[in-house]
């Protein structure tokens, strides 16, 4: 038998179609796995940004309220330290006075890993301060 010829009943026009099908299914499964991994990484970054914002706002509020050393002028510096310790960056901090008590608003960002970096960072904001006193019932 010479090369290039197909024996009757062997192979035919469907020869190799199973391999193409397996490759296609494998490519789809790999794409789905990479998508799920990317969503997981983005969700993790968002949670890290949220936790860092919450903790930074609380730490800054403690400083602004005089519960920790410093004062309102150093509150944002403390927020930056806490955000950095939480693997985030402080992108915004403002100390204002609401009902006579300092309130701190902070924003943090966490960069997404690897190929997701181009989508921009995960961001979060938080606010902390003294709870207003309620009068009357």
The two structure tokens encoding residue 46: 């968002």
> Which residues is 104 bridged to in the sheet?
95, 128
Residues of the chain with pLDDT under 70: 1-15, 132-137
> Per residue in 31-50, pLDDT tens?
999 989 989 999 999 999 99
Rounded to two decimals, the pTM is 0.75
User: With contact defined as beta carbons under 8 Å apart, do 46 and 108 qualify?
Assistant: no
Q: What does the pLDDT read at residue 72?
A: 84
How does 102-136 read in b/e, with b if 16+ C-beta sit within 10 Å? bbbbbbbbbebeeebeeeebbbbebebbeeeeeee
106 DSSP β-pair partners? 93, 126
Q: What is the pLDDT of residues 84-101, one digit of tens each?
A: 999 999 999 999 988 888
| Whole-number pLDDT of residue 73 | 87
Q: Cα(56)–Cα(34) distance, rounded to whole angstroms?
A: 33
First to last CA, the chain: 101
pLDDT score of 13 = 64
Q: What is the Rg, in whole angstroms, of the alpha carbon atoms belonging to the chain?
A: 28
> Per residue, what are the HEC states of 27-49?
HHHHHHHHHHHHHHHHHHHHHHH
- The predicted pLDDT at position 47 comes to 96
């Amino acid at each position: 038998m010479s090369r290039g010829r197909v024996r009757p009943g062997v192979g035919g026009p469907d020869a190799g179609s199973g391999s193409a099908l397996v490759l296609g299914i494998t490519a789809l499964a790999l794409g789905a796995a990479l998508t799920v991994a990317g969503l997981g990484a983005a969700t993790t970054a968002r949670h890290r940004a949220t936790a860092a914002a919450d903790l930074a706002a609380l730490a800054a509020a403690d400083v602004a309220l005089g519960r920790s050393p410093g004062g309102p002028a150093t509150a944002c510096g403390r927020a930056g330290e806490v955000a950095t310790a939480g693997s985030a960056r402080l992108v915004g901090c403002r100390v204002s006075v609401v009902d006579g008590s300092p309130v701190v608003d902070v924003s943090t960002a966490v960069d997404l890993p690897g190929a997701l970096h181009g989508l921009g960072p995960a961001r979060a904001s938080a606010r902390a301060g003294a709870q207003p006193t309620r009068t009357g019932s």
